[in-house]
Amino acid sequence: MSIHIDAKTDEIADLVLLPGDPLRARFIAENLLTSAAQYNTVRNMLGYTGVFNGKRVSVQGTGMGIPSISIYVNELFRDFGVRRAIRIGTAGSIQSDIKIRDIVMAVSACTDSAANGIRFGGRSYAPAASFKLLRTAYDIAEAKGCKPFVGTVVSTDMFYSEDPDEWKLWAKFGCLAVEMECAELYTLAAKYRREALAILTISDSLVSGELTGALERETSFTRMAEIALETVVS
């Protein structure tokens, strides 16, 4: 048991999927896992453990933003011995060729968050994915007929930025999409020597202003969750 996760150590698998939305954790448990049991309800940040392709897998909601995911991932790595963690979430495209419903796999994450500034005393750290997980996830996605974009994302603290054009600087330097958690997941995976990856579906485009509807979001979420599940048990 940890401060924010009310589970016994063996109730959480060492392979974990991390959706931001706790209701997405429930959706995966109910639709994609077998024998799923809920282990956490603290703050309604739902967590479940079930079975996928014969292996135990947990799905834990993380909430939105770096401070929130930092709490859950710290506790999963430090207190529950989680070995592999795959974030599945949404992101806003900042490149014109990346459209809504496309999948982005994050090689690395830039960030405007204060977290790594505090952690590294103002030095710049380069949070990066597990190459092994990334390669596996890419191959699984391709075999399903989908062609993910692979590159750097931006983990921002400001969904509602004061400067509506801020994303253009990141776009100019080749970043693919904006989200709010990846940099912290990758940094913690490096600290604890664990494997991590973020697989993101594009829910909106800052370039075109396009947004996905609720039904489309559910369909693309399911496809991404299946890729993540096959990857995490690989």
User: Which residues of this chain interact with ligand HPA, rule CB under 6 A?
Assistant: 90-92, 156, 159, 178-180, 203-204, 206
Complex with ligand HPA: residue 57 or 100, whichever CB lies closer: 100
Complex with ligand HPA: residue 180 or 199, whichever CB lies closer: 180
Q: Report how far residue 61's alpha carbon sits from residue 81's, in angstroms, rounded to the nearest whole number.
A: 17
Q: Which of 140, 148, 151 is nearest to 229 (CA)?
A: 140
Contact indicator for 150, 107 with CB cutoff of 8 Å: yes
Query: CB 90 → ligand HPA: shortest distance, Å?
Result: 4
Query: For residue 179, what are the contacts with CB-CB under 8 A and spacing of at least 6?
Result: 89, 90, 91, 92, 153, 154, 155, 156, 198, 200
Query: CB 136 → ligand HPA: shortest distance, Å?
Result: 24
Complex with ligand HPA: residue 51 or 207, whichever CB lies closer: 207
Query: CB 68 → ligand HPA: shortest distance, Å?
Result: 13
Of 6, 112, 139, 204, the active-site residue reads 204
Q: Which residue is nearest to ligand HPA (CB)?
A: 92
Query: CB 202 → ligand HPA: shortest distance, Å?
Result: 8
Which amino acid is present at 56?
Answer: R
The β-bridge partners of 60 are: 47
204 is catalytic: yes
Q: Return the axis-axis angle of helices 66-78 and 182-192, rounded to nearest 10°.
A: 20
Complex with ligand HPA: residue 82 or 178, whichever CB lies closer: 178
Helix (H, G, I), strand (E, B) or coil at 165: coil
Active-site residue numbers?
204
